[in-house]
C-alpha cells in the first residue's frame, strides 16, 4: 500500500538554516509591468532583530530597474525520489551604501562574477516561508529505487 506525497511547512528557523547554507538563489522583480526572475549570489546577514538578504549586481542592472517589492527563492529538488524543499523570501529591495560602517565585510555576498558588481542591494524581508515535499511512502517492494 502507498500513501500520497505530502507537504510540510518549514519553521522560520528551518528556513533561515537553509538560507544560511546556500550561496545562489533567484530574485523576482517586476520591470515595466512584467515579472523577471534572475539567479544571483547572496548572503544572509543577521543584524539584531532584522535578517537581510544581501546581493551585488551591476549598476543599472534590470534588478535595480525593478519594483522595490521583490521575491527571492532558493530550493533543492530530487526528481528521482520526488522530494525537495523551497524557501521563499518576500520583502523590500533597498539600495545600500557599501562604505557604511563595516558594511562590506558583513554584507558582501562574494558574487561569482566580480566585474562591475558595484550596486549593493539588500532585501529586508516581511515574510520568510518554506515547504518540504515528502515523497509517497510504500510502493512496490521490487521498485528499481530500492536498489539504486
The domain segmentation of the chain, as residue ranges, is 6-147
Higher confidence at residue 49 or residue 99?
49
d(CA 42, CA 53): 6
Mean per-residue pLDDT of the chain: 82
Query: 78-102 pLDDT, tens per residue?
Result: 888 788 999 999 999 998 876 665 6
Are the beta carbons of 38 and 26 closer than 8 angstroms?
Answer: yes
Strand partners, 52: 45
- Give the pTM: 0.80
Grid coordinates representing 16? 533561515
DSSP string, 3-51: ---EEEEPPHHHHHHHHHH-SEEEEEEEETTEEEEEEEE-EEEEETTEE
Q: From 114, 18, 115, 112, select the one nearest 72 (Cα to Cα).
A: 18
Higher confidence at residue 48 or residue 19?
19
May I ask the CATH class of domain 6-147?
A: mainly beta
Grid coordinates representing 76? 533543492
Q: From 68, 85, 78, 81, select the one nearest 21 (Cα to Cα).
A: 85
Q: From 67, 65, 55, select the one nearest 117 (Cα to Cα).
A: 55
Amino acid at each position: 500500500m502507498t500513501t500520497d506525497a505530502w507537504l510540510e511547512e518549514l519553521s522560520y528557523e528551518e528556513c533561515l538554516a537553509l538560507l544560511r547554507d546556500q550561496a545562489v538563489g533567484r530574485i523576482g522583480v517586476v520591470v515595466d509591468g512584467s515579472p523577471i526572475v534572475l539567479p544571483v549570489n547572496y548572503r544572509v546577514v543577521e543584524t539584531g532583530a532584522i535578517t537581510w538578504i544581501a546581493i551585488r549586481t551591476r549598476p543599472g542592472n534590470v534588478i535595480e530597474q525593478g519594483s522595490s517589492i521583490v521575491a527571492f527563492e532558493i530550493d533543492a529538488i530530487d526528481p528521482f525520489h520526488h522530494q525537495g524543499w523551497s524557501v521563499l523570501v518576500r520583502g523590500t529591495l533597498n539600495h545600500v551604501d557599501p562604505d557604511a560602517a563595516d558594511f562590506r565585510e558583513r554584507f558582501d555576498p562574494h558574487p561569482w562574477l566580480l566585474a562591475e558588481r558595484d550596486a549593493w542591494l539588500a532585501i529586508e524581508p516581511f515574510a520568510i516561508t518554506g515547504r518540504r515535499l515528502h515523497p509517497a511512502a510504500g510502493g512496490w517492494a521490487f521498485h528499481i529505487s530500492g536498489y539504486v
